[in-house]
Every structure is written in C-alpha cells, then in structure tokens.
Amino acid sequence: MRALVVGNGDDLDPGFVGHRLREHGYAFTECHREHPDRWPDLDGIELVLTLGSEWNVYRAATTELVESEAALIRRVIAEARPLIAVCFGAQVLSHALGGTVTRMAGTEVGWCDVEVMATDVPASGPWLEWHDDAFTVPEGFRELARRDAGPQLIRSRRVVGTQFHPEATETMVARWLGHGGAEQVRAAGGDPDELLAATRQPTTTSHNRAGDLVDWFLSSV
C-alpha cells in the first residue's frame, strides 16, 4: 500500500504517525509543498497524510501553494481516499472546505491535554501543541476534541484532522527549536530546554498514543 505525504521540503517527517502507518503496511511517496508541479498523480495512492508547517494559510506569499494543496485535499475527499491532516494540514483542510483560519492572540506551544467529546476517541493526550492559528470545523465534520484555542480533532467518514502534533518525536522537536523555534517558545513564555525535556520524557507513551490514534482512524475507513 502507498501513502502520499505532503510537507515542507526541509521538514518532511511523518514521525510517530509514519511509524504506525508503516506497521500497517504503507510505503511513502513524498511531496514537497513548495513544488506542486512535481506531485505525482493519485493513481495507486491509498492514503494521504498532510503535515504541519511554519506557513500560514492566509499568508500572501504562499497563496498559490496553499491553494494547490487545498485543491489536492478536495480531490482526495471527492475520490473517497483516506486523509490524515496534521496541524497546518488540518488548517488547509478547513480552508479547502469553506472553514476559516485565523491568527490567535499568541502561540500555543507545549505538551497539553485536550477535551475529548466522545468516549471511543483515543485523543485525551497529552499532545504537543505548536501553532499560531486556529481553524473552524468545516461542514460535514464532527468536532471530537478541543481546547480553549479552538478545535483539536475533527473527523468525517474518511478524513481526520488534528491541530496537535501526534507525529512529534524528540528529533523533530529538536530540529524545530534549532530552526528558529526556540525564540518562538521563549516569546510564548516557555523554555526551549524544558520543552525538549518534556518531549523526551514521554517518548514511549507518545509513540503509543499516536499509534492508537492511527489505529482508531484506519479501523473505520
């Protein structure tokens, strides 16, 4: 089975979500957001995974690239292919289907629990939050988890979107901190070293939580 993974060229890492998808038998075709002209056709693609990004849906400099990803998402949904959309990916999902994405008052970053609205959804966390924007729930989706900042988990029959980062590994967080993220964490009132230590501490359970979330999704698509 083959999955299409969409992310930025310098940070295309499906992390723990990818680990679990591989255990289910998926191999990956990688697509860089910066080059939609190089994306392959969807023939033979059985699942699509869209990852987080430093971009904003509403940023003028990347409007055409965001719209290319939105068009891809609409096609994936129209063809009833399973889709997992993470953080920025979920924001593009909302945008693609008529929802809105807006700037929050500040950055939400750190390991946080979420309020789960259904007993059969394995999503209480804690999960890594790292985002400046919030999205609204598009038509046809259920909101299954949230925080004060907005929706955290949305679901339709064959699509799931998360505002949190189930894929986050220690290596990924260290990379994000090294790419300007440390200053962003400090500006939000956090400590980069403490964030990395908190990421390292629950690595095994984080891996398992991500696996449970992927299993839950795949079991009903």
Q: Is 141 helix (H, G, I), strand (E, B) or coil?
A: coil
pLDDT at 202: 62
- Characterize the bridge pairing of strands 2-7 and 101-112: unpaired
Provide the 8-state DSSP code for 136.
P
- Spatial distance between the Cα atoms of 84 and 32, rounded to a whole number of angstroms: 16
- CB contact at 8 A, 213 and 166: yes
Tens digits of per-residue pLDDT, 59-109?
999 999 999 999 999 999 999 999 999 999 999 999 999 999 999 999 999
Q: What is the pTM of this model?
A: 0.97
Residues of the chain short of pLDDT 50, as ranges, are: none
**2-218 classified as CATH 3.40.640.10:** no
Q: Which residues contact 35 (CB under 8 A, 6 or more apart)?
A: 9
pLDDT at 201: 79
What residue ranges do the domains of the chain occupy? 2-218
